[in-house]
Amino acid sequence: MTEQTTHQQIAEALDKGDLLTSYRGQFAIPPKLIYLDGNSLGPLQPAVGKKVAETLVVEWGTDLIKSWNKAGWIDLPETVGEQIAPIIGAKSGTVIATDSTSVNVFKTLAAALLMRSDRRKIVSENGNFPTDLYMTQATTAFLGTGHELVTVKDDDALMKAIDEETAVVLLTQVDYKTGRMLDMAKITAHAHEKGALIIWDLCHSAGAFPVALDACNVDFAIGCGYKYLNGGPGAPAFIYVKKELQNQAIQPLSGWFAHEAPFEFDPEFKPAMSIKRYLTGTPPVLSLMALHEALKIWKDVDMRLIRQKSVGLSQLFIQAVEETCEGLTLASLRDPQLRGSQVSFTFDGDGYALMQALIAEGVIGDFRQPNILRFGFAPLYVRYKDVVRAAEILADILKTERWKDEKFNVRSEVT
């Protein structure tokens, strides 16, 4: 960049050349808001609001119980699974929408443990998203058969920890705090070489960049619907199971929706011979319908463009912040190929208060313990000019020390 070229000028040029620019209009981003928190909760598409209203008033209100057939409610878990599959590099019949990510950690972990019943070791990272670790701790405690959860700190330790005693490796592809991305192909191959099964948590991956589950020969994957997939608050999660593994175990949450014929009301459980055996009970239709409608936008999206723009947005943001913001240190890896679609900074003051000040001025990111400011870049609706403006506002807050105002130090439960 020459002295004459400002960040704003770069942003303008990049926005002009953005091949994804038409998608932003399909989202209801409040005017003047710069939303860099789509990695926590993706925004509403007005089409989703319209569809859910129809589900409420027509499907539920007028057609009532008939809508299980007429409006396709009964098939929604599969329908939504098929919509998610291409986004994560999965073939038809391998993905289903169901329950929450936490519940799905249990289902896949339990199924994997049943398939490797001669082994007792589960490997994960200690920086993994807490719910993955909690579910694993609770599962092993429940089983009471001497399973051991080994959590490691870095990539080297991870590769070493995966050995011939390892039953299952459970990893989140993108670290929720720093955005660091693990090498799915390499780690999966290593796990298989040692005879272990692997589960990838895609919460910060699905919709953020191309994921290649089939190509990496992944065994299981799980992820949520409310971040980059924009399915709405607490949208149902999903499960991917490699075709060859699907019928090897009956997972322990086999409720009536996992039966080969739920409406036969058979007292004996006969598992569906498909990904449907990873279902459990009746799905929350309103939330699942919102996710279904939200996913329609992905139909024609080229995931390579998503990745290209994601890298462009994050690099421009890092550049602008580092050149203009005092006291912030990049907490993410500098190489964009080693990151997901988010960037984090640590702050040498009160990071919580700084994020509150930023939010008060219309830039939404989030704060994570102990002192991390996290910014997510969702290429479907974030513009280059947004990230430059966000950095400008951040710089100005730091310069004037507006974050020191005591009103920004009021802690709330969720940030």
Catalytic residues, by residue number, are 129, 201, 226-227, 374
**Candidate list 2, 22, 337, 412; residue touching its own copies; CB under 8 A:** 412
Cα–Cα distance for residue pair 379/291, rounded to 1 Å: 18
49 binds its own copies (CB under 8 A): yes
297 binds its own copies (CB under 8 A): no
Cα–Cα distance for residue pair 384/106, rounded to 1 Å: 39
Identify the bridge partners of residue 223 per DSSP, sorted by sequence position: 238
Cα–Cα distance for residue pair 256/145, rounded to 1 Å: 28
DSSP, collapsed to helix, strand or coil, labels residue 388 as: helix
**Candidate list 81, 179, 232, 379; residue touching its own copies; CB under 8 A:** 232
In the bound state with its own copies, the residue whose beta carbon lies nearer, of 257 and 347, is 257
414 binds its own copies (CB under 8 A): yes
DSSP, collapsed to helix, strand or coil, labels residue 2 as: coil
Gap between the terminal Cα atoms of the chain:
36
Give the orientation angle of helix 351-360 with respect to helix 384-400, to 10 degrees: 120
Tokens standing for 177? 């705090």
374 binds its own copies (CB under 8 A): no
* Least gap, CB of 5 to its own copies (angstroms): 33
**Candidate list 15, 60, 157, 346; residue touching its own copies; CB under 8 A:** 60
259 backbone φψ class: left, alpha, beta (φ>0; ψ -120 to 50): beta
Q: What angle do CA 41, 45, 51 make, to 5 degrees?
A: 115
Cβ pair 121, 166 in contact under 8 A: yes
**In 10 A of CB 331, how many CB atoms?**
19
61 binds its own copies (CB under 8 A): yes
68 binds its own copies (CB under 8 A): yes
The backbone torsions φ and ψ at residue 100, rounded to the nearest 5 degrees and listed phi first, read: -105, 165
Residues 173-212 that bind its own copies (CB under 8 A): none
265 binds its own copies (CB under 8 A): yes
In the bound state with its own copies, the residue whose beta carbon lies nearer, of 25 and 30, is 30
x/- track of binding to its own copies for residues 116-145 (CB under 8 A): ----------xxxxxx-xxx-xxx-xxxxx
252 binds its own copies (CB under 8 A): yes
**Candidate list 2, 16, 22, 267; residue touching its own copies; CB under 8 A:** 267
In the bound state with its own copies, the residue whose beta carbon lies nearer, of 17 and 233, is 233
In the bound state with its own copies, the residue whose beta carbon lies nearer, of 68 and 212, is 68
The CA distances from residue 262 to 241, 253, 257, 267, 277, in Å, are 21, 14, 6, 10, 11
Question: Which range of residues in 18-26, 316-324, 363-371, 401-409 is near its own copies by CB under 8 A?
Answer: 363-371
261 backbone φψ class: left, alpha, beta (φ>0; ψ -120 to 50): beta
In the bound state with its own copies, the residue whose beta carbon lies nearer, of 90 and 279, is 279
* Least gap, CB of 16 to its own copies (angstroms): 27
**Sign (positive or negative) of CA dihedral 141, 199, 79, 256:** negative
In the bound state with its own copies, the residue whose beta carbon lies nearer, of 142 and 405, is 142
User: Measuring CA to CA, which residue among 211, 208, 238, 241 is closest to residue 223?
Assistant: 238
Residues 88-107 that bind its own copies (CB under 8 A): 99-103, 105-106
**Candidate list 10, 11, 23, 43; residue touching its own copies; CB under 8 A:** 43
410 binds its own copies (CB under 8 A): no
Give me the amino acid identity at 257: F
Question: Which range of residues in 29-37, 162-170, 191-199, 307-315 is near its own copies by CB under 8 A?
Answer: 29-37
413 binds its own copies (CB under 8 A): yes
Size of the site for its own copies (CB under 8 A): 99
> DSSP label at 174?
B
236 binds its own copies (CB under 8 A): yes
